[in-house]
Amino acid sequence: MARIIMGIESSCDETGVGLVRLHDDGTVELLADEVASSVEQHARFGGVVPEVASRAHLEAMVPTTQRAFATAGLSMSDVDAIAVTAGPGLAGALLVGVSAAKAYATALDVPLYGVNHLAGHIAVDTLQHGPLPTPCLALLVSGGHTQLLRVDDIASSIVELGSTVDDAAGEAYDKVARVLGLPYPGGPPIDKAAQNGDSAAIAFPRGMTGPRDAAFDFSFSGLKTAVARWVEGAARRGEGIPVDDVAASFQEAVVDVLTAKAIRAAKEQGITTMVISGGVAANSRLKELAGERCAAAGIELRVPKPRLCTDNGAMIAALGAHVVAAKRPTAPLDFSANPALPVNVVSL
């Protein structure tokens, strides 16, 4: 008998509520995906303000839930289980979602699962492309995370192969956008500007690509600084700043390293399927270069549509469905959010 899984996401600045149907054959069908974003409230600060995000979640949780059930044509009584992001993320923001999930689970008398936000970014791909081949390689790229992950079982076995040692790729985009006078968040405006620029105009560095560097780790702090110094130098010389060329050259440096390390990891692990997920997965040049390099290496590339790449409740509902299907233990009602939850802990 098919089961309805509700997913709640509140790790950062999006309040997401998703509903999926878990079929008897293990496939997962998306029924609703409603998101309320507080990004405009953070834009004037140039980044997410935790207290502002927490208050926005409080205000948006019930209306977003109501919209999700209206979209799916379901009532709360139809829910068979609830999954909620337990971490990683902002402590206050996570607590809003966890508290709401506990209240709903108690009122409905249904099982509750605290799940990993990062694993959710991988699981969401199954809503578009079907079951994940195992093992697969996941390149997770967002404002807060840049990681290479080996996925042997989306419900229970994820191993980190490498991660960023400083700035995440999305964080570097935000900081470079600020240097170039582009709006926050920086990913979309830099991607747009780059399409009119020359990616070979400026030779920005490729971080952690030397022979002694960790093969699968990333570093974007030096690249961010290099862009800032180049812009400052041009300004001192009284030269105009070629925003499009700077954006294109910066973006090429980021996606070059991301895709090269991902391909290397897949080859060394003997993996033939790669999933790119997280907010930066919507970047046009990342998808283009990854597609070219995966095709040349004989690797199948899967990238969810942009709406599923950013934080949303559908990804948590999808992961919850896989956890339910795998008969993983439910979370105790006294579990707490964990802002530093490691990626290998898929569910609590």
The string of DSSP letters for 160-202 reads EEEEBSS--HHHHHHHHHHHTTPPSS-HHHHHHHHTTS-TTSS
140 is in an annotated binding site: yes
Q: Flag whether 25 is marked binding.
A: no
Rounded Cα distance, 203 and 126, in Å: 38
Q: C-alpha angle with apex 298: 297 to 300, nearest 5 degrees?
A: 115
Torsion of CA 287, 288, 294, 299, to 10 degrees: 50
Rounded-to-integer distance, Cα 228 and Cα 178, Å: 10
Q: How many residues does the chain have?
A: 348
Q: Is 166 labeled as ligand-binding? A: no
Residue 313 CA to residue 35 CA, distance in Å, equals: 7
Q: Is 117 annotated as a binding residue?
A: yes
DSSP per-residue letters across 90-158: -HHHHHHHHHHHHHHHHHHT--EEEEEHHHHHHHTTHHHH-SPPSSEEEEEE-SS-EEEEEEEETTTEE
Q: Residue 168 in contact with residue 142, Cβ under 8 Å?
A: yes
State yes or no: 144 annotated in a binding site. Answer: yes
135: preceding bond cis by omega (within 30 degrees): yes
DSSP single-letter state for residue 13: S
Give the distance from CA 199 to its chain's centroid: 25
The amino acid at 20: V
Q: Was 174 annotated as part of a binding site?
A: yes
Rg (CA), the chain: 20
DSSP state, residue 270: T
Burial class (CB within 10 angstroms; exposed 0-12, middle 13-18, buried 19+) of 7: buried
129 is in an annotated binding site: no
- Kindly give the pairing relationship between strand 28-37 and strand 81-87: unpaired
CB 6 within 8 A of CB 317: yes
313 annotated to bind ligand: no
Q: Enumerate the known binding-site residues for Fe cation.
A: 117, 121, 311
Q: Enumerate the known binding-site residues.
A: 117, 121, 140-144, 174, 187, 191, 283, 311
Q: Enumerate the known binding-site residues for substrate.
A: 140-144, 174, 187, 191, 283
